[in-house]
Chain A
Amino acid sequence: AQTVTQSQPEMSVQEAETVTLSCTYDTSESDYYLFWYKQPPSRQMILVIRQEAYKQQNATENRFSVNFQKAAKSFSLKISDSQLGDAAMYFCAYTPFGSQGNLIFGKGTKLSVKP
């Protein structure tokens, strides 16, 4: 079965510092997509970053970048220069290529940002 594991229920970071959120997944597929979504207190799910498994290059979106290790089935999110607005729940998600797009979510990591 395909699963997504986020082993850190909560994380904390000082404003302007860097933090890394962990995500591992289990799949027998070779082609798939991985996502990080952010859910702030408003509860709106916001796409942070997207990675296609066939791409070796790690995805980057401004202060957000991933470390995608396909062989290790690891997909961590690095947030640089953390801001107060980054405080949220972060969900890692997986979907196989060519599927209807059903996402398999991890349980989430709650990130706090200290001023």
Chain B
Amino acid sequence: GAVVSQHPSWVICKSGTSVKIECRSLDFQATTMFWYRQFPKQSLMLMATSNEGSKATYEQGVEKDKFLINHASLTLSTLTVTSAHPEDSSFYICSARGGHQETQYFGPGTRLLVL
């Protein structure tokens, strides 16, 4: 149980394009989902917290117009990187809170490379 999928796992795009990443909780309902960014050899950096049906809460320094988050259902959250630039290249990980309410289960991550 407590499986979270993330799609795509890999994406390469040209500078200026937008990229959408999906995060799904497959076998539980997730009222809260989280989006992280991870740089090589570093810990996870929380970008935003999203609750189903409401606007996401962004961490300080994260541009909400750059990283659009939608949490339309209890099993799906999406992160759209708008007008991507090479500095947005990173590893993006989502997680969902379910089961034991304080436990987060993570998706496998998405590697984004912007050329």
Contact (Cβ within 8 A) A108 B43: yes
CA distance A100 to B32 in the complex (A): 7
Contact (Cβ within 8 A) B43 A106: yes
Query: Which of B46, B93, B105 is within 8 Å of A47, CB to CB?
Result: B105
Query: Which of B42, B93, B104, B109 is within 8 Å of A107, CB to CB?
Result: B42
For the complex, is A25 an interface residue (Cβ under 8 Å from B)?
A: no
Contact (Cβ within 8 A) B103 A47: yes
Contact (Cβ within 8 A) A44 B102: no
Specify the chain B residue showing the minimal Cβ separation from A91.
Answer: B43
Specify the chain B residue showing the minimal Cβ separation from A105.
Answer: B43
Q: Which residues of B lie under 8 Å from residue A106 when comparing CB positions?
A: 43
For the complex, is B44 an interface residue (Cβ under 8 Å from A)?
A: yes
For the complex, is A56 an interface residue (Cβ under 8 Å from B)?
A: no
Contact (Cβ within 8 A) B106 A45: yes
Counted as pairs of residues, one from A and one from B, with CB atoms less than 8 Å apart, the total is 53
Contact (Cβ within 8 A) B103 A35: yes
Contact (Cβ within 8 A) A44 B108: yes
Q: Which residues of A lie under 8 Å from residue B102 when comparing CB positions?
A: 33, 95, 97, 99, 101
Contact (Cβ within 8 A) A102 B49: yes
Q: List CB contacts (< 8 Å) of A88-102 with chain B.
A: 91, 95, 97, 99-102
The minimal Cβ–Cβ distance linking B52 to chain A, given in whole angstroms, is 12
Known: A35-B103, A43-B91, A50-B103. A102 touches B108 (CB 8 A): no
List the 7 shortest-distance A-B pairs measured between CB atoms, nearest first: A45-B106, A101-B97, A33-B102, A105-B43, A44-B108, A107-B43, A43-B109
Which residues of B are at the interface with A, using a C-beta cutoff of 8 A? 32, 34, 38, 42-44, 46, 49, 51, 91, 93, 95, 97, 100-106, 108-109
What are 7 of the A-B contact pairs (CB < 8 Å)?
A42-B108, A44-B108, A45-B93, A45-B106, A91-B44, A101-B97, A102-B49
